[in-house]
Structure formats: structure tokens, C-alpha cells
């Protein structure tokens, strides 16, 4: 073995200690052996050309160079996908998470094509009629047209009903006239819009026959397909440097009485006829928000994957890194041996599992609701909206906090861009805001919870994810504390029920004392967010536990044991995090809390020997991790030194600025 492919001795030892079958866990996380094999096949085809490697790391490039480089790599990757990967996987895999994640090997930051596949194409699939899809979808999938999703404006993101861009129907020419009447009506933020897209989905207020019918979606060509020049009446550009997403050319867009054909309105859920008659969406008023629901569902899996990357980096690094002395003169321990380090990292492994299994469950719920809606039944949509809203909010918020924790766990080296942890953080922290801000989405879930509470109060049976509310009305007093997984979950459900109950009481008391409903709701929103968070925690705990029980039924004993230890760690961690709530809503005692703490510390000890095996089971290739600290071989220090050689500042022994500025300064007199 050369030093280049030699595995770090500490890491090799960790792998020898691992007592479970790593592949078995990978299969569980991927959703089955076949899925793992297909993922590996895709990765082999897409990554073995080595096209991902930049001669100069992208962080050293100027804004222009970075963008051009991102486009170059997006085209290379798209060609590989079109010509090689889809040959073996089929076109239905075009937008699959596996392909999105494999693409991470090409970009430390973001592909300018991400919104094309992530939202433009889904908006065509979800919002267009079959006839419209036949017109647009093949061209979009073949990249003959490249799109963005332009909804947010300079003045409004959250409040979609407040968007100001207008689309006014002109029956004379059978066209819509798009217009940006104010500065705040300019579209702002859409990824890929600034420099790359030649089309986009535009969300605008629809006017026909003198009446406004609210926001609707339109497909709009914004640039000439030959010259890429913005079309007359279109003003488009890039919004400027951001915390992350700097290769995604997030853009602005304004229209000056810009005309598009009638059939460019996405007409699956509402139509404007030739004469201007508006035909209302028959089934549900919010079906035009469907693309957002789809993306929120996919973001739970994204949160899991990015957290899995961060913790893979941090655990491998913590096995390689030695620091301090436990006793005078003793060998410096691996930092992974410190219980405080285990406390930082093992919860991240468990959370990545919890979110991955919850994401798959949510995806199945989403497809089941879609199937019902195809049959004309929209009854399950409110529950899906409530679930996808809170799960998106919590998974992105927790993943953000834990990725930062992984960076802290890597000390100074975690601050290096080459560790990839700062990029991961900058990418994931945005997901807490986009596709619906954290607070705003939890308040959407709270609306659903209050209604469900009122139904349960009146004796009606409520939907499965809030079924615990029915129990709330049949049991008296605090929930009996029980340290079993099912017991902890029941207590978390009681916490949620108790908090929702307090919200309802607050709202009612405020109304009784003279407030109108809107003000009473507004004054209660701090509690409502808290209640929605508690509900969502109980959903995640419940789903994670249920899925582990179901998926490990036929697993080997050691896999069962280690996955059980992780889920128990997760349940115990959250019970300890929420002792205040547990004291308020259950019979838990001081003694029970002491026991929980001991149980938690014992779990850290049990998981420790399998920690590296557990992150290896995420099976994230080095090309995708893109980290000096987290590679499979653990050559941390060598890779940090190799990176230094790529730094353009080190190309010449003396920087020109020395002669230009420093020397004159040194020579000048005070
Ligand atoms: C290669 C593969 C690619 C894969 C890619 C994976 C990664 C993808 C990355 C994608 C990157 C994305 C980048 C970012 C993109 C964006 O951010 S796009 C813009 C997103 N914007 C938002 O999310 C805005 C958030 N705001 C809203 O959603 C809404 O305005 C609101 C907050 C929900 C309020 O809407 P409003 O119309 O005012 O409704 P309300 O009055 O509050 O509620 C009325 C009732 O409607 C119900 N409802 C609301 N929304 C929905 C919905 N979506 N579905 C169903 N029902 C809904 C609401 O609950 C109310 O119900 P009742 O209580 O019964 O009255
Ligand atoms: C990296 C990135 C990429 C994006 N990509 C796209 C894209 O491709 N296409 C697109 O259309 N948009 C995109 N967006 C925009 C994004 O969807 C919005 O920024 C997001 O929905 C939040 O809206 P806002 O910016 O208007 O925030 P605001 O709504 O102004 O929120 C500001 C604060 O006010 C609070 N707040 C707002 N309303 C309420 C309320 N009713 N109750 C309580 N608190 C409230 C929020 O909680 C938040 O703390 C992107 C944003 C980012 C950061």
C-alpha cells in the first residue's frame, strides 16, 4: 500500500471493533438491498469519470469564474445523466434524490440547474394538464428549455396572497399580460433565474373580466433560446452574494406589459377560457400550492442526507484526532473517547436515521394522498399539509443545529472550507427559511391541531397522526411515566395534547375577555408554535420507533441491537431535553430523571465501539463528502497539507502586494 491509499491506523482499528454488518444497515437506510445496489450502480456510472475534480477548488474562484465553472460542471453532469445513467435506470429516475445527491460530487455549493429539476419540472408535472405536459415536459427533461420557480417577490415571500405581479387576460389576442407594477413586485430569490434559466414558472395574481382570482402559475419564456438575451419587456439579473447558494444564480425578474399565450397558464386546477371566463378549481382552494408541498416533503430527506454527511466527517475525524491527556504521561486519547464528544455526535447519527425513516414514511403518505386526489378525494390534504409543514420545519432546523455541532466537534479544522462543514451549514441553514419559514410553517400545523383538538373535544374520531388527542379526553390527569419506548412516546403525545389544550384555553379566554378571534390567535402564537413543535417531535419519535421495529424484524441480532441502542438514545436524549415538559404533563419523578440520565450515559458507552461503523453505513462516497477531514481513509493531516498546495496565494514566494503596499509602509516615517 502506498501512503496515498493507506488507511489511518486509528480508523482501521475502529473498523475492526465494529460488531455489526454494515451493509445490512445501509440497506435499511436506503429502503432495501435493491435500492442500495441501484444507488451504487448510479454512483459508479456517474462518478467514475472523475469529472468532479476541480484543478482549483471553487472557493478560490471569482464570482464570475465560479458561476461559469458551476455551469460547466452542471452540463458535464447532465450529459452523464442523460447519456449514461438514465440508460440504466430509466427516465423516471430523472428527479430522484439519488441523482441529486450524486450531483453533490460535482458541486461544493449548488448546481444552477437544481431549481430546474427541483421545482420547475415538478410544477409542470403537478400543475399542468396532460396536454400542457406533453408540450413542456419532454423539452424540460431534455434540457431544451431550462427553468426556474419565480414565486417570491422583493416585498413578499411568506404571504403568497400578497404577491403583486399581475397576469391580466386579454381576450382580443388570447394572451396574458404580465406586469410588475411596483418595485416590491419584482421577483426575487428564484434559483437559476439570474443567468441560467430561459423559462420560469411565474406566480402572479390572475385578472380576467375585470376580476382578480388570486395567485396562479404561468410558464414564461424570459430569454431568447439562441442568443440568451432577455426578451423585450423582461428585466432579469442576479441578486448578489449570499451566505451560501453562491453558484445558484438566484435572480430578480420584472415584467413590463409582457405578453404570453393563454395556454401558458398552468391549467390543471383552474382554467381561463378563450373568452376570459374563469373556471374555478373544483376540489380544493390551495392545490396551486402543490409544488411547495412536494418540495417540503423532499426536504426532510435532504435534511437527513446532509446531516449524515456532516456526522460522517465529524465521527471519522474524531477517531483520527488525538488531543489532551487523561492522566499525566498517558497516550493522548482519540477525541471520540470523550463522552462530551459522543454526546455531540451520536445524537446526530440517530437524528439522521430518524429523519431518513420519517422522510420515507412521509413520502409514502404523500403518494397515497396524491392517489386519493387523482380520484377526486381531497379529504387527506389538510393532514398532509400539516405534517409536511411541521416536518420540514423541524428537520431543517434540527439538521442546521446539528451540522453546526459537527463543525464545533471538529475544532479549528472544522472551520476550514476544505472540511466541507461550512458549505453544508450554509446550504442547510437556508432550508429553514426557504419553501416556507420555520415559524410560519409551524403556525400552519397549529391551525390544523387546534381544529383537530376541537373535533376530539366534541367526541369525533380524528385522523391518525393526532389520534392521541382522542385519548387526551378519555384519560384523567397526568400521563403515567413509563420508561419503555412506547411509554416515552405516549408521554410526548401527552405533552403535545397538553400544549394544544393550553393554546385553545388561551384563545378562548382572550375571546371571552373581549378580543376578536384574530387578535386572540395572534397573542397565542408563541404557544402555538411551541405546541406544533411538540406535536412534530411526537410524530418523529413515534415514526422512528415504529419503523425501526418494522424494518429490523428480520435483521441479524447485532444490527437489531445497535439500531435499538440508537433509537433509545434518541428517545432518552429528547426526554432529557424536555424534562420541564415531562414534569408538567406526566408523573415523572426526580428519580426517574436520574435514571434517564444514567441510561443515556450508558448508551453512549455502548454505541462508542460501533460509531465509525455506523457512519460508514451511510455509505457516502469520498467524492460526495468532499472533505479533508472525513474521507474513508482518514488521511486528515495529509489532505489538509495537499489542499494548501492548491491555494493560489502560495503560488509565488512573495506576493506582489508586498512591493506595492507593505514595503512602502515599512519604509515610511511616522
Ligand atoms: C434532481 C432532483 C432534485 C431534487 C431536489 C430536492 C431539493 C429541492 C431543493 C429545492 C430548493 C428550493 C429553493 C427554494 C424555493 C422556494 O423557496 S419557492 C417559494 C416557497 N414559498 C413558500 O413556501 C411560501 C410560504 N407561504 C405559504 O405557503 C402560504 O402563503 C401560507 C403561509 C401557507 C399562507 O397561505 P394563505 O393562502 O394565506 O393561507 P392561509 O389563509 O394561511 O390558510 C388558508 C387555508 O389553506 C390551508 N393551506 C395553506 N397552504 C396549504 C397547502 N399547501 N396545502 C393545503 N392546504 C393549505 C391552510 O392550512 C388553511 O386551512 P384552514 O385552516 O382549514 O383554513
Ligand atoms: C437560498 C434561498 C433560495 C430561495 N429560492 C427561492 C426560489 O427558488 N423561488 C422562490 O420563489 N423563492 C425562493 N426563496 C425565497 C423563500 O421562499 C422565502 O425567503 C421564504 O419563503 C421566506 O419568506 P420571506 O423572505 O418573505 O420572509 P418573511 O415572511 O419576510 O419572514 C421574515 C420573518 O417574519 C416572520 N413572519 C412572517 N410572516 C409571519 C406570520 N404570518 N406570523 C409570524 N411570523 C411571520 C418569519 O417567521 C421571519 O422570522 C429562496 C430563499 C432563499 C434564502
Given a cut of 80, is residue 541 above it in pLDDT? yes
**536 alpha carbon to ligand 2 midpoint, in Å?**
21
Number of domains making up the chain = 3
Question: Is 632 part of any domain?
Answer: no
Q: Which of 403, 394, 396 is nearest to 307 (CA)?
A: 403
pLDDT tier, 51 (very low <50, low <70, confident <90, very high otherwise): low
Residues 272 and 305 placed together within one structural domain of the fold: no
pLDDT tier, 213 (very low <50, low <70, confident <90, very high otherwise): very high
Residues 181 and 35 placed together within one structural domain of the fold: no
Q: What is the number of the ligand closest to the CA of 525?
A: 2
pLDDT digits (tens, 9 = 90+) for 544-560: 999 999 999 999 999 99
Name which residue sits closest to atom 34 of ligand 1, judged by CA: 159
Residues 179 and 279 placed together within one structural domain of the fold: yes
User: For 10-32, what is the mean pLDDT?
Assistant: 98
Question: Is 636 part of any domain?
Answer: no
Question: Is 322 part of any domain?
Answer: yes
Domain boundary among the residues 387, 413, 431 is at: 431
Given a cut of 90, is residue 474 above it in pLDDT? no
Given a cut of 80, is residue 480 above it in pLDDT? yes
Atom of ligand 1 nearest to the CA of 434: 17
pLDDT tier, 472 (very low <50, low <70, confident <90, very high otherwise): confident
pLDDT digits (tens, 9 = 90+) for 366-387: 999 999 988 888 899 999 999 9
Q: Tell me, what's the pLDDT at 251? A: 98
Residues 342 and 266 placed together within one structural domain of the fold: no
CATH of the domain at 25: 1.20.140.10
C-beta of residue 316 within 8 angstroms of C-beta of residue 581: no
Q: Tell me, what's the pLDDT at 1? A: 47
Q: How much of the chain, in percent, has pLDDT values that exceed 90? A: 89
pLDDT digits (tens, 9 = 90+) for 61-93: 999 999 999 999 999 999 998 888 888 877 777
pLDDT digits (tens, 9 = 90+) for 109-159: 899 999 999 999 999 999 999 999 999 999 999 999 999 999 999 999 999
User: For 162-178, what is the mean pLDDT?
Assistant: 98
Question: Is 405 part of any domain?
Answer: yes
pLDDT digits (tens, 9 = 90+) for 418-441: 999 999 999 999 999 999 999 999
Residues 279 and 332 placed together within one structural domain of the fold: no
Residues 157 and 233 placed together within one structural domain of the fold: yes
Residues 314 and 208 placed together within one structural domain of the fold: no
**462 alpha carbon to ligand 2 midpoint, in Å?**
31
Residues 413 and 448 placed together within one structural domain of the fold: no
Burial state string for 144-181 with b = 16 or more CB within 10 A and e = fewer than 16: ebbbbbbbbbbebbeebeebbbbbbbeeeeebbbbbbe
User: For 648-667, what is the mean pLDDT?
Assistant: 95
Residues 472 and 504 placed together within one structural domain of the fold: yes
| Proportion of the chain in helix, strand, coil states, percent, rounded to 5 | 60, 10, 30
**437 alpha carbon to ligand 2 midpoint, in Å?**
5
Q: Is residue 430 in contact with ligand 2, taking CB distance under 6 Å?
A: yes
Residues 182 and 246 placed together within one structural domain of the fold: yes
Interface ipTM: 0.98
Q: Tell me, what's the pLDDT at 558? A: 98
Question: Is 606 part of any domain?
Answer: no
Domain boundary among the residues 284, 303, 334 is at: 284
Atom of ligand 1 nearest to the CA of 437: 25
Question: Is 660 part of any domain?
Answer: no
pLDDT digits (tens, 9 = 90+) for 214-273: 999 999 999 999 999 999 999 999 999 999 999 999 999 999 999 999 999 999 999 999
Q: Tell me, what's the pLDDT at 93? A: 75
CATH of the domain at 192: 2.40.110.10
Q: Where are the beta strands (DSSP E) in 164-281?
A: 166-170, 175-179, 187-190, 199-208, 211-221, 234-238, 251-255, 258-261, 271-272, 278-279
pLDDT digits (tens, 9 = 90+) for 604-618: 999 999 999 999 999
What's the domain range around 302? Answer: 9-106+291-431
Atom of ligand 2 nearest to the CA of 245: 1
The three three-digit cell numbers of residue 209, written as one number: 373580466
Residues 138 and 230 placed together within one structural domain of the fold: yes
Strand order in the sheet with 234-238: 187-190, 251-255, 234-238
The three three-digit cell numbers of residue 597, written as one number: 440520565
Given a cut of 90, is residue 208 above it in pLDDT? yes
Question: Is 638 part of any domain?
Answer: no
Domain boundary among the residues 410, 431, 452 is at: 431
For all residues of the chain together, what is the average pLDDT? 95
Residues 187 and 316 placed together within one structural domain of the fold: no
Minimum mean pLDDT range among 39-53, 142-156, 317-331: 39-53
Q: Is 152 annotated as a binding residue?
A: yes
Q: Which of 279, 275, 278 is nearest to 171 (CA)?
A: 275
The pTM (predicted TM-score) of the whole model is 0.97
Question: Is 618 part of any domain?
Answer: no
Amino acid at each position: 500500500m502506498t501512503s496515498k491509499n493507506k488507511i489511518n491506523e486509528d480508523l482501521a482499528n475502529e473498523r475492526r471493533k465494529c460488531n455489526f454488518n454494515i451493509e445490512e444497515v445501509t440497506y435499511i437506510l436506503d429502503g432495501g438491498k435493491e435500492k442500495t445496489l441501484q444507488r451504487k450502480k448510479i454512483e459508479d456510472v456517474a462518478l467514475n469519470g472523475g469529472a468532479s475534480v476541480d484543478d482549483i477548488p471553487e472557493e478560490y474562484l471569482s464570482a464570475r469564474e465560479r458561476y461559469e465553472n458551476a455551469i460547466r460542471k452542471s452540463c458535464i453532469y447532465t450529459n452523464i445523466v442523460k447519456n449514461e445513467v438514465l440508460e440504466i435506470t430509466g427516465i423516471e429516475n430523472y428527479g430522484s434524490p439519488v441523482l441529486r445527491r450524486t450531483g453533490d460530487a460535482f458541486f461544493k455549493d449548488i448546481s444552477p440547474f437544481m431549481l430546474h429539476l427541483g421545482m420547475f419540472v415538478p410544477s409542470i408535472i403537478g400543475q399542468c394538464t396532460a396536454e400542457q405536459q406533453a408540450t413542456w415536459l419532454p423539452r424540460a427533461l431534455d434540457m431544451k428549455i431550462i427553468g426556474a420557480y419565480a414565486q417570491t417577490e422583493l416585498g413578499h415571500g411568506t404571504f403568497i396572497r400578497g404577491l403583486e405581479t399581475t397576469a391580466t387576460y386579454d381576450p382580443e389576442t388570447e394572451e396574458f399580460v404580465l406586469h410588475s407594477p411596483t418595485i416590491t413586485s419584482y421577483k426575487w430569490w428564484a434559483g437559476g433565474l439570474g443567468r441560467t434559466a430561459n423559462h420560469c414558472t411565474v406566480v402572479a395574481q390572475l385578472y380576467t373580466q375585470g376580476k382578480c382570482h388570486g395567485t396562479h402559475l404561468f410558464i414564461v419564456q424570459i430569454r431568447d433560446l439562441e442568443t440568451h438575451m432577455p426578451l423585450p419587456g423582461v428585466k432579469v439579473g442576479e441578486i448578489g452574494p449570499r451566505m451560501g447558494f453562491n453558484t445558484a444564480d438566484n435572480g430578480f425578474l420584472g415584467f413590463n406589459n409582457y405578453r404570453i399565450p393563454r395556454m401558458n397558464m398552468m391549467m390543471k386546477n383552474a382554467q381561463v377560457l378563450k373568452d376570459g371566463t374563469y373556471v374555478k378549481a373544483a376540489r380544493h382552494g390551495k392545490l396551486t400550492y402543490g409544488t411547495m408541498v412536494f418540495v417540503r416533503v423532499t426536504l426532510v430527506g435532504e435534511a437527513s442526507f446532509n446531516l449524515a454527511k456532516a456526522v460522517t466527517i465529524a465521527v471519522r475525524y474524531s477517531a483520527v484526532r488525538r488531543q489532551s491527556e487523561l492522566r499525566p504521561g498517558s497516550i493522548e486519547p482519540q477525541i471520540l473517547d470523550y463522552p462530551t464528544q459522543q454526546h455531540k455526535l451520536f445524537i446526530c447519527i440517530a437524528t439522521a436515521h430518524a429523519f431518513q425513516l420519517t422522510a420515507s414514511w412521509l413520502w409514502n403518505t404523500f403518494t397515497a394522498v396524491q392517489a386519493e386526489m387523482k380520484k377526486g378525494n381531497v379529504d387527506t390534504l389538510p393532514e398532509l399539509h400539516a405534517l409536511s409543514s411541521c416536518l420540514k420545519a423541524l428537520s431543517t432546523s434540527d439538521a442546521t443545529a446539528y451540522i453546526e455541532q459537527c463543525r464545533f466537534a471538529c475544532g479549528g479544522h472544522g472551520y476550514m472550507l476544505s472540511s466541507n462543514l461550512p458549505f453544508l451549514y450554509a446550504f442547510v441553514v437556508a432550508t429553514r427559511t426557504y419553501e416556507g419559514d420555520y415559524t410560519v410553517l409551524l403556525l400552519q400545523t397549529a391551525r390544523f391541531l387546534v381544529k383537530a383538538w376541537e373535533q376530539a373535544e366534541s367526541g369525533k374520531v380524528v385522523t391518525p397522526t393526532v389520534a392521541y388527542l382522542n385519548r387526551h379526553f378519555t384519560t384523567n390527569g397526568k400521563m403515567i411515566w413509563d420508561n419503555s419506548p412506547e411509554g416515552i412516546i405516549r408521554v410526548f403525545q401527552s405533552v403535545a395534547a397538553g400544549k394544544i389544550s393550553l393554546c385553545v384555553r388561551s384563545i378562548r379566554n382572550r375571546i371571552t375577555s373581549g378580543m376578536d378571534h384574530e387578535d386572540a390567535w395572534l397573542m397565542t402564537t408563541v404557544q402555538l408554535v411551541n405546541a406544533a413543535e411538540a406535536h412534530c417531535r411526537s410524530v418523529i419519535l413515534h415514526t422512528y420507533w415504529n419503523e425501526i421495529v418494522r424494518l429490523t424484524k428480520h435483521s441479524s441480532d447485532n444490527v437489531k441491537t445497535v439500531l435499538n441502542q440508537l433509537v433509545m438514545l434518541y428517545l432518552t436524549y429528547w426526554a432529557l431535553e424536555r424534562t420541564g415538559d415531562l414534569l408538567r404533563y406526566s408523573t415523572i419523578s426526580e428519580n426517574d430523571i436520574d435514571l434517564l440520565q444514567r441510561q443515556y450515559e450508558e448508551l453512549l458507552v455502548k454505541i462508542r465501539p460501533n460509531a465509525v461503523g455506523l457512519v460508514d453505513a451511510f455509505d457516502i462516497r469520498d467524492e460526495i463528502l468532499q472533505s479533508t477531514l472525513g474521507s474513508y481513509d482518514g488521511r486528515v493531516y495529509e489532505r489538509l497539507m495537499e489542499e494548501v498546495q492548491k491555494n493560489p496565494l502560495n503560488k509565488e514566494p512573495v506576493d506582489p502586494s508586498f512591493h506595492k503596499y507593505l514595503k512602502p509602509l515599512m519604509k515610511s516615517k511616522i
